[in-house]
Amino acid sequence: MSDAADKIADYEFDIPGFARDVLGITNGVHSGQARFFDAVSVRRADGQTAQWLTIMLASGNRAGKTMALAIAIIHACIYKTNLQRNLTTEKGRQKWARSEFHWYHFGIAHEVADLVWAEIVRILDGMHLAQADGCPLTANGPAATWDVKEYGDFHWIKFIPDLGGAQIHFRTTGEKALGSLGKDMHGISFDEAGIERNLDFLVDEVFHLRRLGTGGQLLMVSTPSEDIGSMFADRWALGDHENNPDAKKSAFSLRMSTRENIDFGLTREMFDILVADMDERTIRQNIEGEFLQARAAYFNGWNVDNCFVDNLPERALARKGLRYIQGVDPAKTQDSAWSIVLAVVPNPAVPEDPYLVGVRAEQKRGQKSTDTVVNLAAEAHNAYDVARLGTHCYTAIDATGFGGKLFRELLEREVPNLVNVEFGGTVQKKRKLLGDLRTVIDSGRLILPREGIWLQVRRQLLGYKLDDRGIEQDAVMALVCAVYLLRRSADGQGSVPFDLAGGS
């Protein structure tokens, strides 16, 4: 092994120094990469457990995020970060040296996952453009093998036993990464997480469960892409301790601008060429790493965000004398079924325009029985239609694809005065129904809790487009149905027996 290998112990908590002196990154790392490395390496009071178990980096294009991930992964594998150890005895040191350490890196496709694989190979081979004189770690011999594929499909890097024998596995998120279930992961990284449509499922049902026993970190890196969806933006907000009072204690988020890579992995000339034809919006998103609303979004992002407020409970009980409206999207197939209940709160300044306050939201996923969907609507209705409190609840349901006479009869038996809302027919009809919801949002009359299941409602509102094929929209349609009841009442139509807009 090389002299650099003898110095490894000096850089356990100094990733920039490790990159410079052990990997031979001649110019060091730029300020954005250094911030990322600082977040990765900080530890809790025990000196072993990572301070930030989930780190989310929003990066501009060509900002050096792939190189940052590659260096962080190499460092984690050599030091076996978060792996419990006792180095005070020879036996403890040998046990730690022989202990397995498995890092998993994910991409949405092989080509994306292999970007980091190729970067690691270039660094260890001493052929990276940031290395002026090769890689000191491998000057006298290889540090790892990589000319192999795991299961014949996936790239695989195995460090030599003298460096601890850690392994890096490269996977895709195809089939929601279900092939990775059951494996312990000592560290996880995910490149371009912002364009993954199943991000919530992957984090909650795959990644998180695979690191429970290891205490490993999850590093998610992406250039923002709000045209795909807002899931990464919502996740990023959970680690934004500067601006989000509800940020998670174990999560940390940061940004990295392409400008920080000038004179490191990018010349000033190339940067000027990159931005020459970009408008201000594109520069903010693709260069500065900011989250912006999708161009085709139907609802105004600023107004939607203002609907969600702190200090409102995720669920509130019925209050004496109030009136409630419930909107239901009753999908029986794999789409989600939603029930959303809003309290109609009088507006003294403009009596005909009451406030609508979210008091209950429920979601049922996957294939559902008729009884499940009926109960979803009936239980919420009955919780707010309480005779002893003098409360009344009225329910509207998206009947566009509502299946079967029996299904309808069962629901009407449980929910009196049920109102059917048909979204089918002309485009103008659907736009009118959506327009009523947008008016309520833009006027500041929709008030919803900023927590729990309501954050899913927020995400769907922010990501909703008129061309809504292939996007989550069930919560939006439930809200549209509820607001339809308010408009129907104001227009003196149908089965709402009193003026909801008039308050209590």
List the CATH number of the domain containing 211. Answer: 3.40.50.300
Element (H, E) at 222: strand 217-222
pLDDT digits (tens, 9 = 90+) for 376-385: 989 999 999 9
CA atoms of 234 and 291, how far apart (whole Å): 10
Claim: this prediction has a pTM higher than 0.75:
no
245 and 359 in a single domain? The answer is: no
143 and 247 in a single domain? The answer is: yes
239 and 354 in a single domain? The answer is: no
403 and 314 in a single domain? The answer is: yes
**Is residue 341 assigned to a domain?**
yes
**Is residue 327 assigned to a domain?**
yes
pLDDT digits (tens, 9 = 90+) for 456-482: 898 888 878 876 665 668 899 999 999
183 and 42 in a single domain? The answer is: yes
CA atoms of 262 and 210, how far apart (whole Å): 37
Inform me whether the pLDDT recorded for 159 exceeds 50.
Answer: yes
Of 286, 321, 354, the residue that ends a domain is 286
Q: Which CATH number is 449's domain given? A: 3.30.420.240
204 and 97 in a single domain? The answer is: yes
**pLDDT-based confidence at 182, cuts 50/70/90?**
low
CA angle 403-412-477, nearest 5°?
55
Inform me whether the pLDDT recorded for 364 exceeds 80.
Answer: yes
Question: Cβ neighbours of residue 462 under 8 Å, at least 6 residues apart?
Answer: 226, 230, 293, 294, 297, 299, 301, 304, 305
Q: Which residues pair with 144 in a beta bridge?
A: 159
CA atoms of 64 and 257, how far apart (whole Å): 9
**pLDDT-based confidence at 415, cuts 50/70/90?**
confident
**Is residue 292 assigned to a domain?**
no
Total structural domains within the chain: 2
pLDDT digits (tens, 9 = 90+) for 202-238: 999 889 988 988 889 999 999 887 655 577 888 898 8
80 and 201 in a single domain? The answer is: yes
**pLDDT-based confidence at 33, cuts 50/70/90?**
very high
**pLDDT-based confidence at 393, cuts 50/70/90?**
very high
Residue-number span of the structural domain to which 447 is assigned:
301-502
